[in-house]
Structures are given as C-alpha cells and as structure tokens.
Structure 1
Amino acid sequence: MLLNVIERTPEPTATTSPLPVALLHGLFGRARNLGFVQRRLAATRRTLAMDLRNHGASPHGPMSYPIMADDVRETLQHHAADPAVLLGHSMGGKTSMMLALRHPQTVKALIVVDIAPGRGGFSSLDLPQGLEKLVFPPALDLHGANDLLRPLIPNDAVRQLMVQNIRLGDNPGWAIGLTDILAAFPALMDWPALPEDACYTGPTLFIRGEDSPYVQPDNYPAMQRLFPNHRLESIAGAGHWVHADAPQRFSELVEQFLAQHG
C-alpha cells in the first residue's frame, strides 16, 4: 500500500545530506504531528512524513506491524528514498523497528521514540468505548466536534488527538479507518513473535520521556538482543509525546545522532 506523504526538502542553495529521513507518527496521529521536527530536519536533508494506513489521508485496510512495515518500505521505494533513516514515535516506532528487523538494507539508521520492542504503548489513551457507534450531526465544526467527543473522552489531550481524525463540515464522520484500527488494537498493543536470529545491527537511538511508562528496565534485554548497536536517552520532564513536551532537547538528540550516523 502506498501511503500519503508530506515531503519537505532543503532550499536549493543549502548544503544537504543525501540520506533521507522518514518520520512515522503514533496511533491516531498523522504525518503533520511531527511537523516541527520535520521542518528542522528539512533544512539540510530530504524528509518524508507518512500517514500510516488507516490514518490521515492514507488508504484503509487490515493492520499489523509486518503489514505496516511493508507499506513504509513500498512507499520509500516509490519515492526513490530507499535506504533511509527512520524516525518513529510510539506505533510508528514499532513499525520502524519491524521494518529494520525484516529489511535491514532499507534502514541506514533508526530512531525510536518512547516505545520498546514488546507489549504495551497505548494504555494511557484509555481508549473509550463507543467511538465506532458515535452519531454525527448533519454538519459539524471544530468546536462542535470537541463537544461531541467530550462525554466519551474527558481527557483534553486525548480528545484533541481524536478530533483531528473527524471529517468536519457537511456530512461529518470519521476520516480514519476506525473499524480496522479497533479490530487491530490487540495486535498494535502487542509485539509480533520474531525468528530467534532477528537482529538489526545498524545504529539505533531510543529516546524516552522520563515521565512515560513505555520504556522500562524489563524492556532492556529485548532492546539489546534485537538492536545491539543502540543507545538510550531519557528526556527529563517529558511524557509519551516527547517531541511535543521537550521539542528543543528532542531535536538536539535527533540532530546529533544524524550528524554521527545519518
């Protein structure tokens, strides 16, 4: 499946790196969620932020991490951006890890943001019941969408994340493949079984939010086994949305890693 891509490139007069960077968002996100990071990186290198399947403007269909990894690989090849550095947050981080493990020749370096190769990663969304049965009015604006979701999603941050997935205006509804996402939710929470010799030896940077529960010491053995050439950095005061909570420090870590390996 070819994914929707937002591409940003340096100005023609800029000194550029030949190696592109692909950015992959988390569950219920979209390519533009990583826009701040993409704009910074696009000053010196080609960047491709993707809507993963069932998200943003990409097509809908069944989901699993191997399937989504294949989507990313196909999209990179279609845009002549293979190999690339992958930067993935949460679900996008698991997708990036899966692509690196299945097709290491496609991934020159890997940045995984606040997720580990194991079960977990989305419980803080407290996925509400009844989203797929939500009744939409004949027309809807942003304020109305907030009011519509508030009884189901009292948490402001989670509600703002979900509002961006509603098609506003006349004949409103879900713009995302919600049925496919909900059907795949157990698999997205989990981590697929891998061959015993699965390993990505390329340079890997794990970045976690110090206030986030998603990368814990019990994840370290799997991280070491699957990604032996990795480094783990924690950002103080940041939660799961590390790039939003600490954008300056996050960008510094990414840019330093790319200067060494990208």
Structure 2
Amino acid sequence: MTVEINYLDTGGEGTPLFVVHGLLGSADNWRSHVKQWQEYRRVVSVDLRNHGRSPHVQGMSYTAMAQDLLALMDRLNIERAHLLGHSMGGKVVITLARLAPQRVASLIVADIAPQAYSHGHSAVFAGLRRLEEGKPGNRREADELLAEHVEERTTRLFLATNLQRGNTGNLELRIGLDEIMAGYDDIMQAPAGHGAFDGPTLVIRGGKSDYVTDAMLPVLRGVLPRAEIKTLDEAGHWLHAEQPEAFQSAVSAFLDAQEA
C-alpha cells in the first residue's frame, strides 16, 4: 500500500529533478541546494515515509518507498524525471529505476552502492530514544540528551533537524522512530528489483567516506553499467553538506549534459 508522501515542488518547465534524502533526513535538509537548482529547472524534494512531514506507517522496504515515489509522480502527472538520492535515498531511486526504467530520465546516486551494509546506527537510535524520554524544552537540552549517546556534534545537529515543538511546549521527534527501527533490517539491504539500469547515471562519492570504495565498483557497475564516478576528495558521507559547491556543480554539469 502506497503512502501519499509530503513534497516541495518549485514548479517550472522541463524534465523535473526529484531529490530524495537519506535515513533520518528530510526535504528540509536540501533547501539550499534546491534554491540553486530551481533557477534552471523544476525541482521536487520529498519526505520519505516515516520522515519529515510524511505519514508514519509500517514497512521500510525499498520496493515500498519506490512505489511511494512513483505514486507521487503519477499524482503530479510527471511521466519522466531525473532522480537524485543520497544514501538510503540512493537505494530508493535505484529501486525505482529497476522497477520502472521508462520513468527515469537519468539517475544521480550520492555516496551509496547497490549492496547490503552492516548495521551501524545503534548509538543514533539510542540518542533519539533518549530525546523521546527526556522531553527537552529547548535545543540546548536536546543536544545534551543526544550527547549521552552520540559523540559527534555534527551528527547531533543533523539529528536535531527532526525536532519540532509539540502541543505540550516541549520538543518532539517528528519522525516515525518505531517504524524506522522496525524496518531497519530492510533499510540495510541492497536495493530491490533485478537486473541493471542502463540509463545515464552519475555516482558521486566522498573521498573520505567508506560507503563507495573501489572494491565496491564491480558490483556497482553490474547494476549501473553506465555510471560515471565522481569523487569529492575532501568530503565524507554527507558530501552535499560538506562540499556543497562541488556537489552542486557535479549535479548541474551532469544534468546539463543530459539535456544538451
């Protein structure tokens, strides 16, 4: 069963660019990039199920999330789109490209490979649970609660983007944490679908990240045979935040080449 996911649509002409965030992210995290890209093209940024302002439901399989995205394209009467996905969102767009290649004008995958990954978010989930229990009244208190489990301040700042003021006046998580944790095993799996997507593809990876290593490239090219690999040497996994200008430039150059 598909979910009517939340989205932000800049409007405009031409083939739109869909932007799909990663685990515990949201469309809001991409506002600065969307502001730049919308000068040249229509951009639709989404909140995946259990994220941002989208509904909380059981099931975090890549097939389910890709079907949500396809349903949104149908609602907006968009036949084909360029798809950009970061991390978990990259697996979502790879799945969509496998399930419905005719709907994909091109694919941009940011720092993820089409394979399973080991579990590694236990501290993050513990920190988010502590936020639920602690009911912080302000962001300083929220950061102190998160710091009991999450050492890196940049990670804490990112997680705090999921907080909103609740009816009681305290800060509350807007994500479906129970549903995300229940579906975590699926999130760590490889993208769904079978075979290769042979359309134009750009894979942008962080030079300081271990999410797309050289050893993974044979598997990646088996699924994305036309992939152009772009490495941002000074970036880690959050490459779009760490090297925003280089990331924007790589995406824009690739899209311009598709439409030349």
Which residue of structure 2 lines up, in the alignment, with residue 31 of structure 1? 27
Contact 1:132 1:179 in 2 (8 A): no
1:122 deviation in Å?
7.1
Could you say which residue in structure 1 is the equivalent of 2:163?
A: 166
SS state at 2:124 partner? coil
Task: Determine if contact 1:141/1:168 at 8 Å carries over to the other structure.
Answer: no
Cα distance in 2 for residues equivalent to 1:174 and 1:113? 26
Q: By how many angstroms is 1:208 displaced?
A: 0.1
Which stretch of the first structure deviates more once superposed, 68-77 or 213-222? 213-222
Q: Could you give the per-residue CA deviations for residues 167-208 of structure 1, whole angstroms, max 9, x where no partner exists?
A: 32515432110001111112111215643xx12111000000
Who is 1:191 aligned against?
A: 190
Shift of 1:123: 3.2
What is the correspondence of 1:149-164 to structure 2 with a 5 Å cutoff?
Answer: 149-164=146-161
Aligned residue number for residue 71 of structure 1: 68
Render the CA deviation track for 1:112-146: whole Å, top value 9, x for unaligned.
00000002287378534364364133x62222221
Aligned counterpart in structure 2 of residue 207 of structure 1, from 201, 204, 209? 204
Q: Secondary structure at the match of 2:202?
A: strand
The answer to whether the Cα contact below 8 Å between 1:121 and 1:214 also exists between their aligned partners in 2 is: no
Structure 2: how far apart are the matches of 1:36 and 1:121?
A: 31
> Structure 2 stretches of 5 or more lacking a match?
none
Whole-angstrom CA distance in 2 between matches of 1:125 and 1:203: 36
Change in 2 beyond 3 A, CA 1:150/1:51:
same
2:163 maps to amino acid: I
Residues 164 and 125 of structure 1: is their aligned pair in 2 closer, same or farther, counting only changes over 3 Å? farther
8 Å contact from structure 1 (residues 22, 84) kept in 2: yes
Q: Return the alpha-carbon distance in structure 1 between the equivalents of residues 123 and 79 of structure 2.
A: 36
Q: TM-score, normalised by structure 1?
A: 0.90
Question: 2: CA distance between counterparts of 1:122 and 1:239?
Answer: 18
2:216 alignment partner in structure 1: 219
Offset at residue 252 of structure 1 (A): 1.0
Provide the identity percentage. Answer: 34
1:148, distance to aligned residue in structure 2 (A)? 2.3
Gaps of 5+ in 1: 11-15
8 A contact 1:93–1:113 mirrored in 2:
yes
What is aligned with 2:15?
A: 19
Partner of 1:40 in structure 2? 36
Give the Cα separation in 2 of the matches to 1:207 and 1:36: 18
Q: Which amino acid aligns with 1:4?
A: N
Aligned with 2:86 (options 84, 89, 99): 89
The correspondence of residues 83-122 of structure 1 with structure 2, limited to 5 A, is: 83-120=80-117
Contact 1:125 1:158 in 2 (8 A): no
**Partner amino acid, structure 1, of 2:247:** F
TM-score calculated relative to the size of structure 2:
0.90
Q: Paired residue for 2:8?
A: 6
SS of the residue 1:129 aligns to: helix
The secondary structure found in structure 2 opposite 1:45 is coil
